[in-house]
Amino acid sequence: MAVGIFGLIPSSSPDELRKILQALSTKWGDVVEDFESLEVKPMKGAMTNEVFMVSWPRKETNLRCRKLLVRVYGEGVELFFNRDDEIRTFEYVARHGHGPTLLGRFAGGRVEEFIHARTLSATDLRDPNISALVASKLRRFHSIHIPGDRTMLIWDRMRTWVGQAKNLCSNEHSIEFGLDNIEDEINLLEQEVNNEQEIGFCHNDLQYEWGKKV
């Protein structure tokens, strides 16, 4: 049974989301008269966001339903990265064929192309041919030249995270996790690898992402 989209997706800006879906349906020629009739399915696996697959029938009944993904951002994640930088990177990577297309943005989330795929199993990953394909795609991914400042970000970013952790933790937890020592360890590590640093594009949960899309 179809589930009402705006009742299920916890968007802080349902009107903005509605406008995006209306624009997409008009562009695709599959105009939806009643958006509450769209089918919404919560998806598993997202770590910091809530994601939903949205589908609606096409005018030509012999074709499969159109599907897209609505991503609702989790609370507090902006502490860890800049959302505008993420969107620019997302769009650039998509243009190079390494991810879904950005279809629209609304306050607190975005709408993306839905990619039909499955997560690789442990058996899949033990297959030399599949592992070689993953390695090849990773090499191409890491070779993407992202435009913009070529400044090393990791060190200042880790220091920022330590500062945020100290602000959020009690004194007891700060001592338990050794937060006062971590910045010294970051400084030491930076000095140790100073002559071997190389600027590159990466994504910390890329293994999970490629596991879904290979």
Is 79 a residue whose pLDDT tops 60?
yes
pLDDT in tens, 7-34: 556 665 667 777 787 787 777 776 666 6
Q: Determine the pLDDT at residue 59.
A: 66
**Residue 206 scores a pLDDT above 60:** no
Q: How many angstroms separate the CA atoms of 151 and 163, rounded?
A: 21
Q: Is the pLDDT of residue 129 over 90?
A: yes
Q: For the domain covering 5-113, report its CATH number.
A: 3.30.200.20
pLDDT, tens digit (0-9, with 9 covering 90-100), for 80-123: 677 787 788 888 888 888 888 888 888 788 888 888 888 788 89
> Which pair of structure tokens corresponds to residue 190?
């930076």
Q: Give yes or no for a contact between 39 and 2, defined as CB atoms under 8 angstroms apart.
A: yes
Domain residue spans of the chain: 5-113, 122-213
Which phi-psi region, left, alpha or beta, contains residue 29 (left: φ > 0; alpha: ψ -120 to 50)? left
Instruction: Report which of residues 135 and 209 the model is more confident about.
Output: 135
Q: What percent of the chain lies above the pLDDT cut of 70?
A: 76
> Please, which pLDDT band fits residue 2 given cuts at 50, 70 and 90?
very low
Cα distances (Å, whole numbers) of residue 48 to 76, 148, 166? 9, 26, 21
pLDDT digits (tens, 9 = 90+) for 57-78: 766 665 567 788 888 887 766 6
Which residues, in sequence order, are CB contacts of 146 under 8 Å at separation 6+? Answer: 89, 92, 201
What's the pLDDT score for residue 55?
Answer: 81
In degrees, rounded to 5, the angle at the alpha carbon of residue 209 between the alpha carbons of residues 138 and 127 is 65
pTM above 0.75, yes or no: no
- pLDDT beyond 60 at 3: no
